[in-house]
Structure 1
Amino acid sequence: MTLAGWLCGLLVAFLGLGAPAVAKDQPPIDDTPRLIGLQHPHWFELSLLDLREDLERVREQGKRALAVYVGMDDCPYCEALFEVNFAEPDIVEYTRRHFNVVGLDVLGSREMTTLEGESMTEREFAVGKGLNFTPAFIFYEPDGTPVFRLRGYHSPYRFRAALEYVADGHYENETFREYLARADPPPRFDPDDLNHQDFFAPKPFALDRSRIPADRPLAVFFEQGECHACDILHTEPLGDEQVLELLDLFEVVQLDMWSEETPVRTPDGRSMTARAWAEDLGLFYAPTLIFFDEAGEEIIRIDSVVRLHRLRSVLEYVLTRGYEDYPTYQRWRMEQGG
């Protein structure tokens, strides 16, 4: 079977863009803060942290791209990447065949040199790239052009899809959202197929904050029917009493990210459907949670697997306006003691 056929089979079976949900969609992750002390896999590049030299090796070896991994110690989601995704031999083989991977610490103090020749610390690099969540990957073509970014943890089948999206150059013709949807076009769902909560505001979705600021931040839940990850969000993190208390301080709306019948007035005052807004935002993962301030500016988004501690922490970050004092969520979180 070809790689493309193998991937298509996985997507059809597991993708969650309308396919029946299965347990493999969401491997168990306990994101309670704890000592983990992760080490990079032995096959990561032994880099001197000069990305120009790392990219030169990519060209010499005929690889498709340089993959810059950004993680951190004591990160349960990084642990899942190493112990679940990289425990699958085909993923490791495919990654090593097409990419050279260089590992960085999102809070690291080591000096590095960027592709532009600038000297800075790993921490400064992560801040400059706006990396709020680990693990994260940034893929660079052999000429140094950044072509794709994957934020947060994604289960093996979606991670494998991201690798093939870059390795086969699909980014040249379509977004990752389009690539996934093409493999398994999402069917139409009745709105009742979504998980409803009492705190979700009813229609109409008049979210415009561009003219008159609101009195509270906004949280938009982009979801879809037949979504195992959405089910877990609603039964686990959204079943926590403290999370519910924090959400009471937000305006909260739920949208079907594929709906062409749901009109929305966006926080910046545009009129479009829920699907068109999701496309405009580049969303490919359900559920995606996007948080906006009182004036309609996006603060942060969670577009990857999320469990209780991360969600609760992000809610606190937004409500305490931590984004005004810290350049990224990660920096704020470390100042709060993890």
Structure 2
Amino acid sequence: MLPRRDRSWPFLKGVLLCSLTLSSPMAADLDTGDAYSFDDFPREEPLVYPDWFKRSFLDIRTDLEEALAAGKRGLMVYFGQQRCPYCQRLMRVNFGLSDIVEYTRRHFDVVPIDIHGIEEVATLDGDLVSEQEWALREETDFTPSILFYDAEGREALHLRGYYPPYQFRAALEYVADGHYRRESFRDYLARGENRMVFDSEDLNEESFFAPPPHNLDRRVRAERPLVVFFEQGDCHPCDVLHGQALREPAVRRHFGDLDAVQLDIRSETPLITPGGRRTTARDWAADLGLFYAPALLFFDEAGREFLLLDSVAGFYRLRQVMRYVAAKAYRDRSYGAWRASRRE
């Protein structure tokens, strides 16, 4: 890993949520390691759900009704894979913390879905589909994905991928306390952040990033797909991405075949979006609802967005994404459908 840059201020991610989030400390005997740096290759041992997950007949409307009858705020539907290291991280780290488990069980029932499963699901809108079909329809591209449904059966929040405990706590409270009715999850997190804004000079640089000005207009078809890195200063997960996964030749070589730009998610840097709109990096990130950095947003040659990776991602996950892009599979199928076809 590349050495960390010297900085005048400490990394404050651990206290991101201030008074907005639950306040119980992490269990002293829980070895979480670095929340952003771990072996993300598929596991040999299959995943085991916590015994407090709901034993569901996969009638989601009935599951929601039973949750409300038990005095809960809504339903969490967990989409995962048996050998997914990010899913195991969620189970062992996030659900290894007593405060998260207690808060989750008090406010939600949790229904597990295997994204490769063949069991029939009755969804809230009355459709009968397989677990795999539902997962593809809900664009659960990166597991674990969690759909939060409120008491009216409306989707309150969709988390795609693994997030460390402090952000996961915030997501639970954001839905349980009804903040989703008044503000975006991005704005909710920002209210609890209270951090200094760092300059773009604090960002990690890469040789494949195109320099400004950033005219990303693709109303006239481009020759190559585009990836936009939304990052921010004093960002530990950004450092991990650049210092580890992006140093690996199996990942790095693919970026030579893309147009790539880096934007500071908080900056007023002017740009033109792939759709031809004039805006700033900060306003575009807000319009997209981005709340996690680094976020990688992919567009095809005609400016169509086809993939967003905005959760913890290591070498294996990023390599799979870049293989999907390099194969130009995005032209006729989603990432989830491509992944399923490779598995079959």
Asked if these proteins are the same fold (TM beyond 0.5), I'd say yes
By how many angstroms is 1:109 displaced? 0.4
Residue 151 in structure 1 maps to residue 160 in structure 2:
yes
Q: Which runs of 5+ in 2 are unaligned?
A: 1-14, 24-31
Residue in 2 aligned with 1:86?
95
Between the aligned partners of 2:69 and 2:56, the Cα distance in structure 1 is 15
TM-score when scaled to structure 1?
Answer: 0.91
Residues 218, 303 of structure 2: 8 Å contact kept: yes
Matching residue of 1:318: 325
Q: Alpha-carbon deviations, 1:56-105, whole Å to 9, x = none?
A: 11220121111111101110100100111111111000000010110001
Supply the distance in 2 between the matched residues of 1:36 and 1:109 (Cα, whole angstroms): 21
Which residue of structure 1 lines up, in the alignment, with residue 338 of structure 2?
Answer: 332
Deviation at 1:8, TM superposition (A): 1.9
1:17: which partner in 2?
none
Instruction: Report the equivalent of 2:47.
Output: 38
**Counterpart AA for 1:289:** L
1: distance between equivalents of 2:52 and 2:87?
Answer: 16
Gaps of 5+ in 1: 14-22
Q: How does 1:191-206 map to 2 (within 5 A)?
A: 191-206=200-215
SS of match in other structure, 1:316? helix
1:273 has 2:280 as partner: yes
Matched, 1:294 2:315: no
CA–CA distance in 2 between the matches of 1:217 and 1:31?
A: 26
* Distance in 2 (alpha carbons) for counterparts of 1:178 and 1:187: 16
Aligned AA (1:214) = A
Deviation at 1:159, TM superposition (A): 0.6
Preserved contact between residue 230 and residue 265 of structure 2 (Cα < 8 Å):
yes
Q: Does 1:283 align with 2:290?
A: yes
Q: CA–CA distance in 2 between the matches of 1:25 and 1:163?
A: 22
Distance across 2 between alignment mates of 1:110 and 1:137: 18
- Cα deviation for residue 233 of structure 1 reads 0.3
Deviation string, structure 1 residues 291-326 (Cα, Å, up to 9, x no partner): 100000001010100001111110111121223443
1:35–1:74 CA contact under 8 A, matched in 2? yes
1:111-147 CA deviation, whole Å, 9 max, x = no partner? 1101112111011111111111100111111121111
Aligned counterpart, 2:18: 8
Counterpart residue type for residue 259 of structure 1: S
Q: Is the 8 A contact 1:264 1:273 kept in 2?
A: yes
**Is the contact between residue 65 and residue 141 of structure 1 (CA under 8 Å) also seen in structure 2?**
yes
2:249 pairs with one of 221, 224, 241: 241
Specify the SS of the correspondent of 1:138: strand
Structure 1 residue 34 displacement after superposition: 3.7
Give the Cα separation in 2 of the matches to 1:237 and 1:302. Answer: 14
Shift of 1:289: 0.4
Counterpart secondary structure, 1:222 = strand
Identical-pair percentage:
51
Rounded to whole Å, the distance in 1 between the matches of 2:140 and 2:127 is: 18
More divergent stretch after superposition (240-249 vs 27-36): 27-36
1:112 maps to which residue?
A: 121
1:162 paired residue among 167, 171, 174:
171
Query: Is the Cα contact below 8 Å between 1:25 and 1:228 reproduced in 2?
Result: no
Pair 1:252 & 2:231 matched: no
The alignment covers a number of residue pairs equal to 322
Distance (whole Å) between structure 1 residues aligned to residue 280 and residue 195 of structure 2: 16
Q: CA RMSD in A?
A: 2.1
In the superposition, the TM-score normalised over structure 2's length comes to 0.89
Deviations along 1:15-68, one digit per CA (max 9) or x if unpaired, are xxxxxxxx9762542111342311221101111000011011122012111111
Q: Which residue of 2 aligns with 1:224?
A: 232
Is 1:216–1:250's contact at 8 Å kept on the other side of the alignment? yes
The verdict on how the C-alpha distance between 1:325 and 1:35 changes in structure 2, with shifts beyond 3 A counting, is farther
> Against the structure 1 CA distance between its residues 325 and 108, is the aligned structure 2 distance closer, same or farther, given a 3 Å change threshold?
farther
AA in 2 matched with 1:231: D
Matched position secondary structure for 1:336:
helix
Instruction: Report what 2:3 is aligned to.
Output: none
Distance (Å, rounded) in 1 between the aligned partners of 2:246 and 2:203: 14
Given the superposition, is the C-alpha separation of residues 67 and 232 from structure 1 closer, same or farther in structure 2, using an over 3 Å criterion?
Answer: same
Q: Which string of whole-angstrom CA distances, capped at 9 and with x for unpartnered residues, describes residues 157-197 of structure 1?
A: 11111101111111111111101111113432221100111
Q: Following the alignment from structure 2 to structure 1, what is the Cα–Cα distance between the partners of residues 131 and 224?
A: 35
Residues 69 and 101 in structure 1, CA contact (< 8 A), matched pair in contact too: yes
Q: Distance in 1 between matches of 2:51 and 2:194?
A: 38
In structure 1, how many angstroms separate the alpha carbons of the residues matched to 2:150 and 2:114? 22
1:209 equivalent among 201, 213, 218: 218
Q: Which amino acid is the alignment partner of residue 263 of structure 1?
A: P
